[in-house]
Chains A and B, each alone.
Chain A
Amino acid sequence: MQSGTLRIRILKFFNRHKNTRAFSILFPCIFWIGVFFLLPLVFMGIYSFLERGLYGGVNWIFTWKNYTRFVDPLYLKILLRTFRISFITTVILLMIGYPMAYRIARADKRWRNILLFLVILPFWTSDLIRTYAWMLILRDTGLLNGLLQYLHIIREPLSLLYTEGAILLGLAYVYLPFMVLPLYASIERLDPSVLEAAEDLGATPFWRFLKVTMPLTKSGIMAGSLLVFIPSVGVFVVSDLLGGAKVMMIGNLVQLQFGPARNWPFGSAASFILMAIVLFAVFAYLRFAGGKEALEEAR
């Protein structure tokens, strides 16, 4: 009975304060995300303006140095490479993902669910392991080199691992589901009668695709591109395992500063630049793809 009366009291209190009730239900989330996600980002921002101390610590002295260091060709090169790799990955995946999503959307209903599930499965599976699988295939004594040597196509193993090409392949592999899922969602919604109308009016398949299908699935194209570009810019695992120290991306630079280099302020600045690029991409997306619905689509 004790807990019963307490319960009634709590309910009465909440009935009087509707906003308090909404707040108290949302409080655990506000607390957790606020304290363990947003606040650390603020600290990271502060760190990026501090001087590096001895033995990996910081000195609480304000400086721009961590940002101005990016004018150095060495770091500029890493930034540009990150952009280039992420952009190419997005384009490649658009070209692979679109036909794939289109075919899934046009499959029989029974097959469609299975095909879709087979795309979702890798989406939730460890990136680390999926990237490692490519090491087995690409390394000097790996499957691909072994096969090519067995077939007498090459004599000496090709150096496939630790190249920019290996990173591109790995990113395309890991992020293919991120492209296919939003594309599928928008293609599936496409009204077939519109396509038939275009055909009846004499449009060739090529023009029909360019003038009707593509504009109508723009939201999926934008969402897929965003969902591939963002994690590609921030990638660490794929470029670490398949690119190594020779082909660094921003993510690897950040890790280096927090690992062996022990320069947390500089690492924070690099990380802050990364975050700025991501936010810029999200805002550009919201602007061009049209606000709230676009946000829902991306989810």
Chain B
Amino acid sequence: MKTRDYFKPLTVFTALCYLFLYLPICVLVAFSFNTSRFSVVWQEFTVQWYVKLIQDPLVLDALKNSIIVAIVAMILSTIIGTLTAYGLFRYRFRGKAIFDGILFLPIVTPEIVVGISLVIFFVLIHINLGLKTIIIAHVAFDIPFVMLIVRARLQGMDRSLEEAAMDLGADEWTTFFKVTVPQLLPGIIAAALLAFTLSFDDFVITFFVAGVGSTTLPLKIYSMVRLGVSPKINALSALIVLVSITMITIADRLQRKSL
């Protein structure tokens, strides 16, 4: 076909874009296995940086904090976000458009603005900064994302099953838990995994609302980066990227699953 003449250069260009997207991450992973500490020359394959990593108590402590924060934030935001998606889908009420708009706000607000406004808030109401404040902040920015993902699933859902359940005498409570939730489950799990990833990876907001002794992995990486590039950071980064990729892949599979 004549119109496809421009396709070849377009394909090459797109391939280069993908190279651009993935090359830096590949470089990072490759260097995490390189013996040399300073030079860019490839010396020898090693896992010593990973070994050093798991022997570092500070890194392990940060890992523990990160996991606690991500799991608690995931559970809370998944529950709240799912309820919100359901409520917005099911009911009409005055001011719904405004409510919708407000839920859009945390997504577009720069993270640094969220971070500093929260630190002012916590200081003013005398809440000590720590894991608790990190979790509160993470739940707040996770909720809109969970809501959007679950809502997308709701919009593709077959309402007739719910109606059938109600016609057969199930009350709304039973219908919600026995019919609606199972239908939404792949979407809910996908949303939960992405909420976990967002929370696990968050740096900027956590940077402001974390207190002494509540360092998470991204904060640890940042403080290490300030002291300069090191193979240990490469190894830690590679591991975090691996966690994200695993979570996102599963979430993507679930979201593609047809209803």
Contacts and interface: CB of A to CB of B under 8 A. Distances in A.
B53 interface: no
Interface on chain B toward A: helix, strand, loop, or mixed SS? helix
A103 B247 CA distance: 27
B18 A118 contact: yes
A71 interface: no
A293 interface: no
A146 B105 CA distance: 44
Interface stretch (B36-44, B55-63, B159-167, B180-188): B36-44
A126 B194 CA distance: 12
Contact of B104 (A125, A141, A295): A295
Given A119-B21, A120-B252, A129 B240 contact: yes
A271 interface: yes
Nearest to B252: A117
B108 A176 contact: no
* Interface size range of chain B in the complex: 35 or more
B176 to A, nearest CB: 10
Given A36-B118, A44-B120, A134-B24, A127 B136 contact: no
Contacts of A268: 116, 120
A223 B237 CA distance: 31
B71 interface: no
A30 B143 CA distance: 11
A126 to B, nearest CB: 4
B118 A40 contact: yes
Given A36-B118, A120-B248, A271-B117, A129 B28 contact: yes
A230 interface: yes
Given A32-B140, A43-B120, A133 B106 contact: no
Contacts of A21: 91
A243 interface: no
A258 B208 contact: yes
* B79, B91, B100, B107 — most chain A CB neighbours (10 Å): B91
Interface in A99-133: 99-100, 102-104, 106, 113, 115, 117-122, 124-130, 132-133
B139 A100 contact: no
Contact of B116 (A195, A258, A295): A258
B88 interface: yes
A271 B116 contact: yes
A119 B104 CA distance: 22
B113 A44 contact: yes
Contacts of B25: 122, 125, 130, 133
A129 B241 contact: yes
Interface in B109-133: 109-114, 116-121, 124
Given A39-B121, A126-B218, A126-B241, A278 B110 contact: yes
Interface in A266-283: 267-268, 271, 274-275, 278, 282
Contacts of B90: 22, 25
Interface residues of A, number: 88
A9 B131 CA distance: 38
Contacts of B27: 133, 136-137, 143
A127 B84 contact: no
Nearest to B122: A40
A26 B88 contact: yes
Interface on chain A toward B: helix, strand, loop, or mixed SS? helix
A267 B116 contact: yes
B80 A32 contact: yes
Given A11-B173, A125-B201, A133-B28, A234 B87 contact: no
B110 A230 contact: yes
Contacts of B81: 29
B40 A278 contact: no
A25 B87 contact: yes
Nearest to B80: A28
Interface string A1-42: 000000100010010001101110110111011001111110
A278 B114 CA distance: 13
A7 B177 CA distance: 13
A37 B108 CA distance: 12
Interface of A: 7, 11, 14, 18-19, 21-23, 25-26, 28-30, 32-33, 36-41, 43-44, 47, 96, 99-100, 102-104, 106, 113, 115, 117-122, 124-130, 132-137, 139, 141-143, 145-147, 173, 176-177, 195, 199, 205, 230-231, 233-237, 241, 251, 254-255, 258, 264, 267-268, 271, 274-275, 278, 282, 292, 295, 299
Given A11-B173, A141-B40, A255-B112, 14 more contacts: A22-B90, A32-B143, A36-B140, A38-B102, A40-B118, A99-B13, A122-B25, A125-B245, A135-B229, A142-B40, A143-B40, A146-B39, A251-B112, A254-B116
Interface of B: 3, 6-7, 10-11, 13-14, 17-18, 20-22, 24-25, 27-28, 31, 38-41, 79-81, 83-84, 86-88, 90-91, 93, 97, 99-114, 116-121, 124, 136-137, 139-140, 143, 147-148, 171-173, 194, 197-198, 201, 203-204, 208, 218, 221-222, 225, 229, 233-234, 237, 240-241, 244-245, 247-249, 252, 256
